[in-house]
A and B are shown apart, each in its own frame.
Chain A
């Protein structure tokens, strides 16, 4: 099996996002176990892009090789220069800047750093200044590089930090390395930012009505983004059969059905990797990996 994979391994970037509709379905469990397993043979990067609550680091230990503060640009009002003409509040699509008689008020957490107010201000009264939004850390453990970003408390926007972290990955790691992005749950902007340009998206779900409901939203999103994707059913055996029926009817690849197993939960809750202790999980990881490569190669032809 390993031979097949080696032949099939593409000689260019391979970015895989692990996403879900519903939270708590096992994204991080899959991301950490998959990357730790692949790192036994290959150079792998795991990137935790769930910047509002990154938790892959609970399972992946390593030596800290780099750390940096991350900033976003927001306008600062210089009252002396302001006329106040009101153009800034008219052009702001996000209502992050308002004019209250001759006063300008800024809501930095609503600002999307688009520069419109700053560029269009006729008296340059809104220069853009950096504001710290979070921190990125890069660890290394043998073949496995682990990068996580964490949004500062009070910061509301995940997208700029996710985008900057992806830039770091693109500029610091070879295109030939396998990269896994642990995405936040849901289907909103942060998930779009993580998945919009990856080669493959693994959607992790659980076989429950909640799992199905949110999986459908995630599938719609991936179709809209025109991504390759497949589904991993985690905790197979609970709930009902509707998720599998849905996938069959919609012609969606089910990459694996990982059984509901108390011992997996126990290892997880101790912060341990599961595949090292439970051989069946390792089998599932191999199956998922091989299918992704197969689906990708199929698409390449």
Chain B
């Protein structure tokens, strides 16, 4: 199972980014292989509109099974994600990545 996180850094101890469209990084964790990788999304800062669709496009390419994020997608991102086979869990915006993963495992995050 591949899990994606919206984050402000690239480490297990990095803080989650509560935003989806404008998240600074997308961290990917592959449970089977324990492989850990990231995508730098910081270029999104400079675009005025359309951050949601653009980041969702990237998520599609990364193709995780699960996305763990904070506030949840905005209107455009939500519309785009409706077509995605990605399960979304929200409410992890104030946690570290490690905390977010264990909150997910303990069933403490809300599914979107």
Interface of A toward B, CB cutoff 8 Å: 89, 94-96, 98-101, 103, 105, 107, 110
**Once bound together, how far apart are the Cα atoms of A99 and B47, in whole Å?**
19
Q: Is B53 an interface residue (CB 8 A)?
A: yes
CB A192 to nearest CB in B, in angstroms, measures 13
Known: A100-B80, A107-B76. A94 touches B60 (CB 8 A): no
Chain B residue numbers with a CB within 8 Å of A89 are 57
Chain A residue numbers with a CB within 8 Å of B80 are 98, 100, 105
B49/A110 in contact, CB under 8 A: yes
Q: Is B51 an interface residue (CB 8 A)?
A: yes
B83/A100 in contact, CB under 8 A: yes
Chain B residue numbers with a CB within 8 Å of A103 are 83
Q: Is B54 an interface residue (CB 8 A)?
A: yes
CB B5 to nearest CB in A, in angstroms, measures 20
Chain B residue numbers with a CB within 8 Å of A95 are 47, 49-51, 53-54, 57
B53/A110 in contact, CB under 8 A: yes
**Once bound together, how far apart are the Cα atoms of A94 and B50, in whole Å?**
6
Q: Which of B49, B57, B83, B84 contacts A94 (CB 8 A)?
A: B49
A105/B79 in contact, CB under 8 A: yes
CB A233 to nearest CB in B, in angstroms, measures 32
CB B12 to nearest CB in A, in angstroms, measures 29
A100/B49 in contact, CB under 8 A: no
**Once bound together, how far apart are the Cα atoms of A110 and B76, in whole Å?**
10
> What count of chain B residues pass the 8 Å CB interface test?
14
**Once bound together, how far apart are the Cα atoms of A276 and B40, in whole Å?**
62
A110/B60 in contact, CB under 8 A: no
Known: A105-B79, A110-B76. A98 touches B56 (CB 8 A): yes
Known: A95-B47, A107-B76, A110-B76. A101 touches B53 (CB 8 A): no
Chain B residue numbers with a CB within 8 Å of A94 are 49-50
List the B residue with the shortest CB-CB distance to A189.
B48
B54/A100 in contact, CB under 8 A: no
Indicate the member of B49, B79, B84 with the most A CB atoms within 10 Å: B49
Interface residues of B in 38-82 (CB under 8 A from A): 47, 49-51, 53-54, 56-57, 60, 76, 79-80
List the A residue with the shortest CB-CB distance to B49.
A110
Q: Which of A99, A100, A107 contacts B84 (CB 8 A)?
A: A100
CB B73 to nearest CB in A, in angstroms, measures 13
Chain A residue numbers with a CB within 8 Å of B60 are 98-101
Q: A89-B57, A110-B76 are in contact. List 4 more A-B contacts (CB 8 A).
A: A94-B49, A98-B54, A98-B57, A98-B80
**Once bound together, how far apart are the Cα atoms of A99 and B57, in whole Å?**
7
**Once bound together, how far apart are the Cα atoms of A110 and B51, in whole Å?**
10
Chain B residue numbers with a CB within 8 Å of A110 are 49-50, 53, 76
User: What are 22 residue pairs bridging A and B, where the CB atoms are less than 8 Å apart in the complex?
Assistant: A89-B57, A94-B50, A95-B50, A96-B50, A96-B53, A98-B53, A98-B54, A98-B60, A98-B80, A99-B57, A99-B60, A100-B56, A100-B57, A100-B60, A100-B84, A101-B60, A103-B83, A105-B53, A105-B83, A107-B76, A110-B50, A110-B76
Chain B residue numbers with a CB within 8 Å of A96 are 50, 53
CB A105 to nearest CB in B, in angstroms, measures 6
CB B36 to nearest CB in A, in angstroms, measures 25
**Once bound together, how far apart are the Cα atoms of A212 and B5, in whole Å?**
43
Indicate the member of B50, B57, B79 with the most A CB atoms within 10 Å: B50
**Once bound together, how far apart are the Cα atoms of A137 and B79, in whole Å?**
34
CB B47 to nearest CB in A, in angstroms, measures 7
